[in-house]
A = this chain, B = another copy of it.
Amino acid sequence: MASQNLRTPGPTPLPSAVRDALARDMINHRGPEFAELMHECVDGLKWAFQTQHDLLILTASGSGGLESIVVNTLSPGDKLLAISIGYFGDRLIAIARAFGVDVVPMRLDDGHAADPQQIADALRADPAIQTVFVTHNETSTGVLNPLEAIARAVKETRPEALLLVDGISSVGSVPLQPEEWGMDVVVAGSQKGWMVPPGLAFVSVSPRALERSAQARLPRSYFDWQAHRRSAERGQTPWTPAVGLFFGLQAGLRLMRDEGLERLFERHRQMAAYTRNGLVELDLRLVADSDHASPTVTTAYVPEGINAKELLEALRSRHDVVLAGGQGRLDGKIIRVAHLGWFDQDDLDEALLALRIELNKVRAADSSSPATARA
Known contacts A11-B28, A13-B25, A324-B28; A222/B6 CB under 8 A:
no
- Contact indicator per residue, chain A 81-113, by CB within 8 Å of chain B (1) or not (0): 000000000000011001110000000000000
**B221 and A99 within 8 A (CB):** yes
Nearest CB of chain B from residue A243's CB, rounded to whole Å = 5
Give the residues in chain B near A62, CB-CB below 8 Å: 239-240
Q: Decide yes or no whether A23 CB sits under 8 A from chain B.
A: yes
Of A191-199, A261-269, A279-287, which binds chain B? A191-199
The reply to whether the CB of A118 lies closer than 8 angstroms to some CB of chain B is no
Task: Give the residues in chain B near A40, CB-CB below 8 Å.
Answer: none
> Is A23 touching B25 in the complex (CB atoms < 8 A)?
no
Kindly specify which of A14-22, A142-150, A153-161 makes contact with the partner chain: A14-22
**Which residues of chain B come closer than 8 Å to A248, judged between CB atoms?**
244
Kindly report how many copies of this chain are found in the complex they form together: 2
Q: Chain B residues with Cβ under 8 A from A6's Cβ?
A: 25-28
Task: Evaluate whether A198 and B316 lie within 8 angstroms (CB atoms) in the complex, with A98-B219, A221-B98 already known.
Answer: no
CB-contact partner of A245 in B23, B26, B199, B223, under 8 A: B199
Within the assembled complex, what's the spacing in Å between the Cα atoms of A63 and B241? Answer: 10
User: Which residues of B have CB within 8 Å of A238?
Assistant: 63
Q: A60 contacts the other chain (Cβ, under 8 Å)?
A: yes
Say if the beta carbon of A189 comes within 8 Å of chain B. Answer: yes
Q: Are B67's CB and A244's CB within 8 A? A: no
Please tell me which one of the listed residues B23, B28, B61, B222 contacts residue A8 in the complex, with CB atoms under 8 A apart.
B28
Known contacts A6-B26, A244-B22: A221-B11 contact under CB 8 Å? no
Asked whether B29 lies within 8 Å of A222 as measured between CB atoms, the reply is no
**For the complex, what is the distance from the CA of A222 to the CA of B245, rounded to whole Å?**
20
- Report if A369 contacts B (CB, 8 A): no
Q: Which residue of B lies closest to A19 (CB)?
A: B23
Inter-chain CA distance A304–B59, complex, in Å, is 38
Instruction: Tell me if A207 is interfacial: C-beta within 8 Å of chain B.
Output: no
Query: Is A314 interfacial (CB-CB < 8 Å)?
Result: no
Give Cα A238–Cα B238 distance, bound, in whole angstroms: 25
A30 to B22, CA, bound (A): 22
Which listed residue, B14, B218, B245, touches A25 by the CB 8 Å rule? B14
Complex formed: what's the CA distance from A218 to B19 in Å?
39
Query: Which residue on chain B has the smallest CB distance to residue A76?
Result: B219
Minimum Cβ distance to chain B for residue A131 (Å) = 17
Flag A107-127 by CB within 8 Å of B: 1 or 0 each: 000000000000000000000
Given contacts A31-B316, A100-B219, contact A240 B25 (CB under 8 A): no
Instruction: Judge if A275 is at the interface, Cβ distance under 8 Å.
Output: no
Asked whether A242 and B3 contact (CB < 8 A) given A191-B26, A324-B28, the answer is: no
A221 touches B59 (CB 8 A): no
How would residues 26 to 59 of chain A score, 1 for a CB under 8 Å from any chain B CB and 0 otherwise? 1111110000000000000000000000000001
Residues of B within 8 A of A224 (CB): 98
Indicate if the CB atoms of B11 and A243 lie closer than 8 Å.
yes
Q: How far is the CA of A244 from the CA of B249 in the complex (A)?
A: 13
Closest 8 CB pairs of A and B: A199-B242, A197-B244, A11-B26, A63-B239, A23-B23, A61-B240, A19-B23, A99-B219
A-B contact pairs, 28 of them (CB 8 A): A8-B30, A10-B240, A11-B26, A11-B28, A11-B240, A11-B243, A14-B26, A22-B244, A26-B191, A26-B197, A27-B322, A31-B322, A59-B60, A59-B64, A59-B198, A60-B64, A60-B222, A61-B240, A63-B221, A63-B222, A67-B222, A95-B222, A98-B221, A197-B243, A197-B244, A197-B245, A198-B244, A244-B244
